[in-house]
Amino acid sequence: MKLTFPVFTFLLCLFPLHGTACSLVGCLGRGIEMNRDFVVVVKHQGKPLKGVTVKVTDASDALRVSAETTSTGAASISGLPPGDYWLDVSFLGIAAGYECFHVSERPSRHAKQRVNFEWGDEAPATRRIAGRLVDSQPGTGANPVWNMIHRVNVPITEARLSLQDPITRRIFSTTSDQNGTFAMDGIPAGIYVLHIEGGSGGRDYEPADLLIRLSSSASRDALELTRREPGGGSCGGTSLDLVKTPSPANP
């Protein structure tokens, strides 16, 4: 059965945030003040999350510290010299937090020794992991502005999609067909990371990851995944629309 998709935009850019890449995050007033030694704690649904990547980069984007949370959900950062930094916390390609901070020569009493993050608790919900993967390409008319407004959705075929449980690490997988459609059924309810890579649609595509909740009580039951090149103030990447499959009586 062919799926059609009314427009229902729900989520936005899905690539992990990065200091020198396209990012919606800015740094105001050098960010929060941290102690030279501090702990990053990450939880998922109220429980400690193991294996979260914690990176600290300096103002020149050089990596200063890389660590992973233990079974307690904590990662320790120590011995940072005074300066301005970015803290990047992510798990399975999905950001838990990204913010700037600074370490003072003489830390004040307000300098934090611990920061807390929640991962995955606000994932958009769908009743089914099924839908369509398309490449939003500019039109082919003579007017560049018209082309950007009147875009054409080209199906992305043979893309590899894998759905991973972040706790058990169980993986379900499928491949998009000639229409860009895909489906994965028989999956238990829960929060998952959907990883997308490869595909044929006329361009090369970077891998993308997105977080999604599978729930029988969700109001939507189909996914529209759209890849778009950066430009015009947009980050590009892959965006997600959650849509409702129209019934035969109401196409």
pLDDT of 231 above 90: no
pLDDT of 16 above 60: no
pLDDT of 246 above 70: no
pTM: 0.76
Place of tokens 């233990």: 70
Average pLDDT over residues 216-227: 90
Nearest 5°: the CA angle 113, 116, 122 is: 165
pLDDT of 251 above 60: no
Average pLDDT over residues 2-16: 31
135 CB neighbour count, 10 Å cutoff: 24
DSSP element (H, E) containing 116: strand 112-118
- CATH number among 3.10.129.10, 1.10.3720.10, 3.30.300.130, 2.60.40.180, domain 125-243: 2.60.40.180
| Residues of the chain above pLDDT 90, percent | 61
- CATH number among 2.60.40.10, 1.10.1060.10, 3.40.50.11540, 3.10.20.600, domain 32-118: 2.60.40.10
pLDDT of 55 above 50: yes
199 CB neighbour count, 10 Å cutoff: 21
Give Cβ neighbours of residue 82 (< 8 Å, ≥ 6 apart). Answer: 102, 103, 104, 105
Average pLDDT over residues 171-187: 96
Asked if the domains 32-118 and 125-243 are classified in one and the same CATH topology, the answer is yes
Most confident of 3-17, 113-127, 146-160, 216-230: 113-127
pLDDT band at 245 (very low <50, low <70, confident <90, very high): low
Q: What is the pLDDT of residues 57-100, one digit of tens each?
A: 998 999 999 999 999 999 999 999 999 999 999 999 999 999 99
**DSSP per-residue codes, 197-242:** EEEESSS----EEEEEEE-TT-S--EEEEEEE--BTTB--EEEEEE
| Residues of the chain above pLDDT 70, percent | 80
**Helix ranges restricted to H, 47-197:** 144-149
Mean pLDDT of the chain: 83
Tell me how far apart the alpha carbons of residues 172 and 186 are, in angstroms, rounded to a whole number. Answer: 10
Average pLDDT over residues 91-117: 95
Q: What is the pLDDT of residues 129-177, one digit of tens each?
A: 999 999 888 888 888 888 888 888 899 999 999 999 999 999 999 999 9
Tell me how far apart the alpha carbons of residues 121 and 94 are, in angstroms, rounded to a whole number. Answer: 12
Tell me how far apart the alpha carbons of residues 12 and 153 are, in angstroms, rounded to a whole number. Answer: 17
pLDDT at 195: 94
Tell me how far apart the alpha carbons of residues 238 and 240 are, in angstroms, rounded to a whole number. Answer: 7
Determine contact, residues 222/242, Cβ cutoff 8 Å: yes
pLDDT at 18: 36
The domain segmentation of the chain, as residue ranges, is 32-118, 125-243
